Amino acid sequence: MIAITLSGVAGRMGVAIGRAVATSDDIRVAGALGPPNRPYTGHDLGEQLGTGTQGIVIEGNVGSVLQPGRTWVEFSTPKASIAHAEQVSDMGLPLLIGTTGFTDSQVEVIRKYSEHIPCLVGSNMSLGANLLFLLTEYAARLVDADADIEIIESHHRFKRDAPSGTAKDLTESILRGRRQVYKAVYGRAPSSGPRTNREIGIHSIRAGDISGEHTVLFGSIGERIELTHRVQSVDTFAHGTLHAIRFLQDRPAGLYTMMDVIRSTMNVSTD
């Protein structure tokens, strides 16, 4: 049985992962963490998940849940994730980070920790979205070099970061496929002026309860290609997270992505 500590347990992702784990045969939540002094700290995890009593108290203090033998699963905020990652690294535990919105220097800090522990960072835990990264790279290689490239991402109104981590990773997929320098242009204002050739437009929509949609559009004169991935609910991310937790067991130190999970669990060649 794989034991995990779930950080950000009361959030949308924390609840979805907690519920998915409750129905799995091989993973259990051994520690649950929220920020200090929340109404739900000190209460049983099952109350938060609506699954009935689990005998696990939601803690507000990292020290209470930082235990050997557990995989740390983090879906909270960038600041909290970086602080927890340091302690998890010091203890030598496997670390899965699903939080998005890191700065470049925070990404570098995580990369440093991954020299000591197995660490998987995924901007999008859905298996399909990770296939979209591959399809986007391939399309960027094939589609006419003059085609205009735009990314449109849509999420629920509560999402804190923009553009999404997935949109940023899609930009990387395009750059790998194109092997050219492009400028990222975030949205367009009246002052933006006409589009130039070497830019990738990135547009963020925040509305209602949209779970997550990403479209990569290649627009030429007379035709366009659109690659779209839609997530129907956060349960899809939770499902991918469980795959990633299993993947991390007994891995050597290193920085892993969902692409490694896909290679190992779906028998898909990503070369």
Chain residues that interact with ligand NAP, rule: CB under 6 A: 7-8, 10-14, 33-35, 38, 75-77, 80, 98-101, 122-125, 159, 161, 237
Q: Which is nearer to ligand NAP, 50 or 141 (CB)?
A: 50
Q: Which of 116, 159, 239, 243 is an active site residue?
A: 159
| Annotated catalytic residue 43 | no
How distant, in Å, are the alpha carbons of 50, 120, 196, 218 from that of 193?
51, 40, 9, 20
Separation of alpha carbons 141 and 176, rounded Å:
8
Q: What are phi and psi of 186, to 5 degrees?
A: -95, 105
In the complex, what is the shortest distance from the CB of residue 159 to ligand NAP, in angstroms, rounded to a whole number? 6
Q: Which is nearer to ligand NAP, 49 or 149 (CB)?
A: 49
Nearest C-alpha neighbor of 96 from the set 266, 269, 261: 261
In the bound state, the residue with its beta carbon closest to ligand NAP is 11
Q: Which is nearer to ligand NAP, 149 or 236 (CB)?
A: 236
In the complex, what is the shortest distance from the CB of residue 177 to ligand NAP, in angstroms, rounded to a whole number? 22
In the complex, what is the shortest distance from the CB of residue 169 to ligand NAP, in angstroms, rounded to a whole number? 10
* Residue 116 CB-density burial (10 A; 0-12 exposed, 13-18 middle, 19+ buried): middle
Separation of alpha carbons 251 and 17, rounded Å:
22
Q: Which is nearer to ligand NAP, 124 or 143 (CB)?
A: 124
| Annotated catalytic residue 155 | yes
* Residue 98 CB-density burial (10 A; 0-12 exposed, 13-18 middle, 19+ buried): buried
In the complex, what is the shortest distance from the CB of residue 235 to ligand NAP, in angstroms, rounded to a whole number? 11
Q: Which of 84, 155, 214, 229 is an active site residue?
A: 155
Q: What is the largest CA-CA distance in the chain?
A: 61
The catalytic site residues sit at 155, 159
